Amino acid sequence: MVRPYAVKGRKHKKMRMELRDEAVAEEVAGRGEEEVVAAKDQKKGYLHPEKASLEIGKVGKNFHLLNSDDHGSFLRKQNLNPADYRPDIVHNARLTILDSPLSKNGRLQALYVRTEKGVLMRLN
């Protein structure tokens, strides 16, 4: 059976692409070792986001971390703006910071968060 005309040159192209990918992988592997050595020589830093909306309130008989989705009616009864209580924003910021190249290279020594009431917390 004869191969269709369109498939005829794909084998050679695929082999060239595989060879090129291997060369790029070797080049990237060599660069990674240099970056790790350079990262060890650099100073470590701290990140300090401020005005985080983390507040604990007594809802019913228990204490909860207040958020606008679950405790909106409670916050309105206390004459507070529910839009100011968004712990999910702090959580997303923390995930972004911990996923950043600064953290992955080991140069992030600590992450501190200051709440609106002035409480300073260290997050691990």
DSSP structure string for 42-110: SPPEEE---SB---EEEETTEEEE--TTTSHHHHHHTT--GGG--HHHHHHHHHHHHTSHHHHTT-EEE
pLDDT at 65 over 80: yes
pTM of the entire structure? 0.57
Contacts of 115 (CB under 8 A, 6+ apart): 51, 52, 53, 54, 55, 121
pLDDT band at 61 (very low <50, low <70, confident <90, very high): very high
| Domain residue limits, the chain | 1-41
Report which of residues 32 and 98 the model is more confident about: 98
Share of the chain above pLDDT 70, in %: 65
DSSP state, residue 121: E
Candidate from 7-21, 40-54, 68-82, 97-111 with smallest mean pLDDT: 7-21
pLDDT recorded at residue 34: 46
Residue 31 burial (CB < 10 Å; 0-12/13-18/19+)?
exposed
pLDDT in tens, 71-118: 888 889 989 888 888 888 888 888 888 888 888 888 888 888 888 888
